[in-house]
Structure 1
């Protein structure tokens, strides 16, 4: 598998490989100086030499794929068996996929928005929306997930719900606190979002999360480099702050 060190999309595929217990090799791609053979491989998959080559990209025998969700679902369909990442029960499958959609729209999309905000007012507006969305996620996990046997979305069963969201969860926890003063864990705790907190902790504690992707320091520094020295470090002030 070809991946970028700090890329959350690549970590999705990496986690899937770990969770499915597959043998694999990885090659790190330098985003600023992509190797020609990687560009050729990517172009052969998407049939377009004009598209910039992206990670993750995998080669599995004669099968060559890109796009993180496509890769995770392919690996699960081929190697997951009866206990794969995607539930076989149609209701659970729909709930898991709806959770991922909600997480993307209500949570992970705010990482980029808050980091790229150009005023304290914009940071506060986005932060208050995200603070509200934490409550939405807590309510959804409580209503559509399960508490039976554990604290993952499906209770005791780790699934696609965690595989494809944990890389973004981890980055949001680190970079929004470091660069925008938005402490997700503190806000969730102060708002009594216990089910969300349980899910966050279970996701972060999973060994596949710990053994893949960059270090916490690399994530924070990567965001700092992306922000640029010229961009002010605007800090979030919640509605209840003095």
Structure 2
């Protein structure tokens, strides 16, 4: 185990939700790592050599071997450092459902945030915000059905795979509201709002999320680029 922990490098960028995921998992497991900040406008040879297919972050380099894509990295960390706290439940069916909803979030929820930023005009933006509310409603109902009486975002008392996958993005909603001057996550989705607020209050999440003001500044730049 000491040999494994001695050579872990995370290539990332501070504003990336996907990179936050990996940092949360590494910290939760107590895995020492070196962090390398990447300039995505001027990609380094290090990044290009370790992720030649997608050429994006995060990339985890473990003993010289690279793993890309944040959800895959989370599973790699869980399998390689099979120590407590665990990221995934022990039951195979529960593990499958946790993976399903993490993928749903990435495939259905995250893209709508980008659509909202790129929307031209108030009407188009409001439609996208309503679409977001609807996919979050599916998420709320599905999680309540699949995990009755449970909190699948935490595995025991520790943040789990689903909490890391969703919290790394959803917990930044106030920064998005400030930049867009609009409410995206509202009482239309009370369960989701309560879930992300609970995760945001987790000390590990609080210390790992990007600083609010710094993220707002970055998102303003992104918004300006989409409206140019």
TM surpasses 0.5: yes
- 1:85 to 1:146, Cα distance in 2 relative to 1, 3 A: farther
Partner of 1:74: 76
- If the length of structure 1 is used for normalisation, what is the TM-score? 0.79
Mapping for residues 13-92 of structure 1, pairs under 5 Å:
13-43=22-52, 46=53, 53-81=55-83, 83-92=85-94
Unaligned runs of 5+ in 2: 1-9
More strand by share: 2
In structure 2, how many angstroms separate the alpha carbons of the residues matched to 1:11 and 1:218? 15
User: CA offset at residue 208 of structure 1?
Assistant: 2.5
User: CA offset at residue 141 of structure 1?
Assistant: 2.5
**8 Å Cα contact 2:67/2:73 also seen in 1:** yes
Partner of 1:169: 170
Partner of 2:3: none
Larger Rg, first or second structure (1 or 2): 1
1:94-122 deviations in whole A, cap 9, x for unaligned?
Answer: 22112212323442221101000112211
In structure 2, how many angstroms separate the alpha carbons of the residues matched to 1:151 and 1:201? 15
Residue among 206, 211, 221 paired with 1:210: 206
1:17-65 deviations in whole A, cap 9, x for unaligned?
Answer: 011111111111111223333333333xx4xxxx5x3111122114222
1:140 is the counterpart of 2:142? yes
Partner of 2:7: none
- If the length of structure 2 is used for normalisation, what is the TM-score? 0.83
Counting matched residue pairs gives: 219
- The root-mean-square deviation of aligned C-alpha atoms, in Å, is 2.5
- 1:132 to 1:64, Cα distance in 2 relative to 1, 3 A: closer
